[in-house]
Amino acid sequence: MLHHVLLEVSDLERSASFYDALLMPLGWRRHLEEEETIGWGIARPVFFASAHHEPRPGFGLLGFSGLGIVAVKASWKAGIGAGGTSVSEPGERRSHGSGAYSAFLKDPDGYEIEITIGND
């Protein structure tokens, strides 16, 4: 079971605004705010952005689940509006690890993000 994920970011305030916008339509909120770390989740923080070290994007893909097509579209649109870069607009997908409907973007530091709904 995954316990948590932490990404090092170059500008914590910029990344906080981006992830606030991206995660709010998915039902996530901030649970932790410290000087160099912010944590989001639904019931507890499980995703963190930190400014302790230099960011190293390019490691892979970070996926967030949405409760439906409307949430995936809203999250992708909010992420683009908050400084993200579109990789692929929301739509049906049939690739390894993806849900039945996904959208892809990069955060302000270049980390790849997928917002998806399950395929079950």
Show the domains of the chain with their CATH numbers: 5-117 (3.10.180.10)
* 16 band by pLDDT with thresholds 50, 70 and 90: very high
Indicate the pTM of the whole model: 0.85
| Chain segment 50-82, per-residue pLDDT in tens | 999 888 877 778 999 999 999 999 999 999 999
Q: Which of 46 and 100 is assigned the larger pLDDT?
A: 46
pLDDT at 11: 96
Half-sphere exposure of 5 (CA within 13 A, CB side): 15
Segment 96-117 shows an average pLDDT of: 87
Can you point out the beta strands (E) in 2-118? Answer: 5-8, 29-33, 37-41, 47-50, 62-65, 85-92, 101-106, 112-117
Q: How are strands ordered across the β-sheet holding 85-92?
A: 62-65, 112-117, 101-106, 85-92
